[in-house]
Amino acid sequence: MRHALILAGGIGTRFWPRSRKDHPKQVLHVVGHKSLIQETLERLEGAIPPSRTHVITSEMQYGGLASHIGKSAVAILEPFGRDTAASIGLGTEKIFHADPKAVIATLPADHHITPKPMFHRALQTAMERVEKEGGLLLFGVSPTRPATSYGYIRRGTEISPGLFGVEGFVEKPDAARAQALIDSGDHYWNSGMFVWRAKDILKAIREEHAELGAALDRIRKALGTPKEEVVIREAFTSLPSISIDYAVLEKAEGLVVREANFEWDDVGSWLALERLHRTNDQGNVVIGRHVSLDSRGLVVVGGQRLVATIGVEDLIIVESRDAILIARKDRAEEVKALVKRIESEGLEAYL
């Protein structure tokens, strides 16, 4: 049967001060009136039933996500986060335990995708391909700007319309390199969305990352037994934090990339609001209350208080209940480093 595995374990530190350990990025209302994870679950309606839609997140974050998930999916809990390789491994083992013939669409919880019918058609054709041919299928997005926060996939020989072999990967290049990849005409953004048979990705994990494979072997034997929770916790304790890309995909064989023919944004930082919201006559994106004198190119996310600016340009200003972020737009990616600095200063209460 067809399943979906939604990865919802990250905090989303680039969305600080709105994203917190107990209020992760996935529950933020970045685009409209629904949270990012609610958008993701709604997008799957009509393609994968709720009983076969699984959301994997950490025990610490589940409390903040539970009301957003509701009855739209089945929760799978990690004892603590260990990045996407461990998340996908555990989630897939649990699905495989219930359905050894499962075909799984593995999707992040924090993307913005439209229109829904085009996404459904792309998902259906990808799952049909995997059901017939097996292998590991990645969705690639045609790049529209030299993004430095995305990984890139180099496509190879065309297998069928819109479907290509994979020649290699480039991880988060600098701006000049990113522009060169776009100019080459044979690179996609790596969307982080995958389709595969459960047995194929589990086999690839065991072949390419022995430590994770051994941990999954222990977990598989314990599933459905009284020792399941204890074994999972013990296995996760010793696992490294590593992405599925580094751990498996960049070394595995049998990869194909399907060109995404829908609109996609990974909503990776506050700058995403410029792409997802209209600007006003001063070129500002404003959510909340803002009064401006000669201020242009701002991203303003207000709260209870009025945000007022005079003569400033190209800034991100975000208000939360106990902190305010002010950053140059060209340094939006450094919010993650700022969060680490806040932690090192002993100010964990603000995280």
- Compute CA 140 distance to the chain's CA centroid, rounded to the nearest angstrom: 14
Tally of domains in the chain: 2
**DSSP letter at 306?**
P
Residue 311: pLDDT above 90?
yes
Same domain, 225 and 101: yes
> What percent of the chain is predicted at pLDDT more than 70?
100
Instruction: Read off the pLDDT band of 22 (50, 70, 90).
Output: confident
Residue 33: pLDDT above 90?
no
- C-alpha 77/C-alpha 240 separation (Å) is 18
Residue 108: pLDDT above 90?
yes
Residue 70: pLDDT above 90?
yes
DSSP string, 88-153: HHHHHHHHHHH-TT-EEEEEESS-EEE-HHHHHHHHHHHHHHHHHH-SEEEEEE--SS--SSS-EE
Q: Which tokens hold the place of 196? A: 């595969």
CATH number at residue 47: 3.90.550.10
Domain boundary residue, one of 265, 300, 330: 265
Same domain, 286 and 259: no
For tokens 């009064």, the residue is 291
Note down the domain range covering 90: 2-265
Same domain, 256 and 172: yes
Q: Which residues of 202-237 are buried (b: 16+ CB within 10 A; e: fewer)?
A: bbbbbebbeebbebbeebeebbeeeeeeebbeebbe
Instruction: Read off the pLDDT band of 281 (50, 70, 90).
Output: very high
Q: How many CB atoms lie within 10 A of CB 337?
A: 12
Same domain, 317 and 241: no
Same domain, 304 and 210: no
Domain boundary residue, one of 239, 265, 291: 265
Chain mean pLDDT for the chain? 96
Same domain, 99 and 224: yes
Q: In the prediction, which pLDDT does 182 show?
A: 96
Q: In the prediction, which pLDDT does 32 show?
A: 82
Residue 221: pLDDT above 90?
yes
- Cβ atoms of 50 and 73 within 8 Å: the answer is yes
Same domain, 238 and 330: no
Q: In the prediction, which pLDDT does 10 show?
A: 86
Same domain, 298 and 326: yes
Domain boundary residue, one of 249, 265, 281: 265
Residue 349: pLDDT above 90?
yes
Same domain, 31 and 73: yes
Same domain, 158 and 241: yes
Rounded to 5 degrees, what are φ and ψ at 323?
-155, 155
Residue 31: pLDDT above 90?
no
Same domain, 14 and 74: yes
Same domain, 220 and 312: no
* Average pLDDT of span 243-262: 95
What's the pLDDT tens digit per position in 77-91?
999 999 999 999 999
First-to-final CA distance of the chain = 40
Residue 106: pLDDT above 90?
yes
> What percent of the chain is predicted at pLDDT more than 90?
95
Provide the whole-model pTM.
0.94
Q: In the prediction, which pLDDT does 107 show?
A: 98
* Average pLDDT of span 64-88: 95
* Average pLDDT of span 240-251: 96
